[in-house]
């Protein structure tokens, strides 16, 4: 299995879209408080934080960007293993020099694809000590494929350098729109942007929930689609070297006349890899924006009242929550379904709430979520999709919803 290192703001290792695809450090014993592999990081089971030196599972993703990026990789390649490496802080900033440490960790731990959805405009890669050397070593000795977002400043990176996307050996990815043309924000470069991939309204894992998704746009979203494609090619042809993987990705693009002057390949990543995201785009183009109703279950109806279920994670495992919210909405604890495979860390803190509709029969969904969050009782609050999918086949259409439910 290809291992994809996400060099970003961190990764929420408890998210349902990611937890089955997490890389596991074979040299570390979970939870023993010992640096078993002698790399200076204790219990780095799924990756580590360059900023604090802690394991990624202890930090998670305070900003949210990295989890979204990781979710795009797993949507593209469902067999890819995700290694989370935090380079950027909660404000999305960081030191370029720390990238070398992040790459070194990834390479030594067996990452075969390294995704970099970050960059610094106006800086040449040659200005960063050991950057080019690290990429060369990663390719030649470790056989790793390096991928980077081209940037969102709408400039030509042939003229204004962007790091690390302009580095030799790096696959630089621009963002295409729903028509397969260049998005208005994407950087371009006939010699420095290799190819384009979908980067507008891409739905992926929401770091601040257990199973929710949210839509973002940017070359940060396009790059991990290519990273997922590289992982697929590595699994398909293990003997292929990084140059051959890059050549295949570039030669198999969907050619676009309008992209020929903006990139080396002159096209968008092959439809073989972009299909999940192309479907998102087509459905949004054909339909007017609409609010999606949250899942409603017959088994949670009481008398003639209609209830909507919400998943919450209690701050304290033993806490019993029953509260009147603004005297309009009533939240009651509900027993979790045994058939749902909850993340172990949340096992004793899951609370399913039934939310009563107001007297007009309408549910102000955002207000409900805000009210519950403001109560301070819960670590995580989101609409229930998982139980609906697990319990009723007729509600499987919910699984195809792209974007946040709110």
Contact 73, 4 (CB under 8 A): yes
Identify which of 247, 245, 281, 235 has the alpha carbon closest to the alpha carbon of residue 78: 235
Contact 8, 148 (CB under 8 A): no
Q: Which distant-in-sequence residues (6+ apart) come within 8 Å of 260 by Cβ?
A: 266
Sign of CA dihedral 222, 215, 86, 346: negative
Q: 327 burial class (0-12, 13-18, 19+ CB within 10 angstroms)?
A: exposed
Cα Dmax for the chain: 70
Q: Which distant-in-sequence residues (6+ apart) come within 8 Å of 300 by Cβ?
A: 307, 309, 334, 354
CB neighbours of residue 20 within 10 Å: 11
How many angstroms separate the CA atoms of 212 and 205, rounded? 6
Residue 400: strand, helix, or coil: helix
Q: Which one from 8, 17, 61, 206 is the annotated catalytic residue?
A: 8
* Per-residue CA distances from 20 to 51, 82, 207, 396 (Å): 26, 9, 16, 20
220 catalytic per annotation: yes
Q: Which one from 117, 165, 220, 263 is the annotated catalytic residue?
A: 220
Instruction: Give the length of the chain.
Output: 406
8 catalytic per annotation: yes
Q: Which one from 15, 44, 57, 65 is the annotated catalytic residue?
A: 65
User: What is the per-residue DSSP string for 228-251?
Assistant: HHHHHHHHH-TT--HHHHHHHHHH
User: What is the per-residue DSSP string for 96-134?
Assistant: TTHHHHHHHHHHHTT-SEEEE---EET--GGGSTTHHHH
Q: Which distant-in-sequence residues (6+ apart) come within 8 Å of 286 by Cβ?
A: none
How many angstroms separate the CA atoms of 184 and 175, rounded? 9
65 catalytic per annotation: yes
Q: Which pairs count as long-range contacts for 24-32, CB under 8 Å and 24+ apart, including other chains? A: 24/81, 25/109
- The torsion angles phi and psi of 176, rounded to 5 degrees, stand at -100, 155
Identify which of 325, 321, 309, 292 has the alpha carbon closest to the alpha carbon of residue 383: 309
Q: Is residue 207 within a helix (H) or strand (E), and if so which, with residue range?
A: none
Residues designated catalytic: 8, 65, 220
């Amino acid at each position: 299995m290809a291992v994809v290192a996400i060099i970003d703001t961190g990764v929420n290792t408890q998210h349902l879209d990611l937890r089955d695809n997490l890389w596991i450090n074979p040299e570390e014993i979970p939870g023993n408080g010992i640096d078993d592999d002698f790399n200076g990081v204790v219990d780095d089971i799924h990756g580590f934080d360059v900023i604090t030196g802690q394991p990624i599972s202890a930090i998670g993703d305070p900003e949210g960007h990295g989890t979204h990026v990781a979710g795009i990789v797993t949507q593209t390649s469902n067999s890819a293993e995700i290694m989370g490496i935090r380079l950027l802080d909660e404000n999305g900033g960081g030191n370029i020099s720390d990238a070398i440490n992040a790459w070194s960790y990834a390479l030594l731990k067996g990452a075969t694809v390294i995704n970099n959805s970050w960059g610094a405009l106006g800086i040449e890669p040659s200005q960063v000590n050991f950057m080019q050397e690290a990429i060369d070593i990663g390719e030649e000795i470790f056989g790793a494929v390096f991928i980077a977002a081209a940037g969102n400043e709408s400039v030509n990176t042939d003229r204004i350098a962007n790091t690390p996307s302009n580095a030799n050996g790096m696959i630089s990815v621009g963002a295409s729109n729903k028509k397969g043309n260049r998005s208005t924000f994407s950087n371009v470069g006939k010699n420095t942007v290799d190819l384009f991939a979908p980067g507008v309204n891409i739905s992926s894992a929401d770091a601040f929930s257990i199973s929710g998704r949210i839509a973002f746009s940017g070359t940060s979203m396009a790059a991990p689609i290519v990273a997922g494609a590289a992982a697929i090619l590595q699994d398909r042809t293990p003997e292929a070297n990084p140059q051959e993987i890059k050549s295949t990705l570039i030669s198999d693009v969907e050619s676009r006349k309008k992209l020929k002057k903006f990139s080396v390949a002159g096209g968008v990543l092959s439809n073989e890899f972009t299909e999940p995201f192309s479907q998102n785009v087509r459905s949004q183009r054909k339909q007017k924006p609409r609010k999606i109703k949250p899942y409603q279950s017959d088994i949670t109806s009481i008398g003639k009242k209609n209830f909507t279920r919400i998943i919450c994670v209690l701050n304290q495992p033993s806490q019993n929550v029953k509260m009147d919210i603004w005297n309009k909405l009533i939240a009651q604890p509900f027993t979790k379904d045994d058939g749902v495979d909850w993340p172990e860390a949340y096992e004793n803190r899951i609370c399913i709430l039934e939310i009563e509709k107001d007297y007009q029969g309408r549910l102000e969904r955002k207000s409900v979520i805000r009210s519950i969050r403001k109560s301070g009782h819960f670590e995580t609050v989101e609409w229930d999709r998982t139980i609906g999918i697990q319990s009723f086949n007729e509600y499987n259409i919910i699984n195809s919803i792209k974007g946040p439910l709110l």
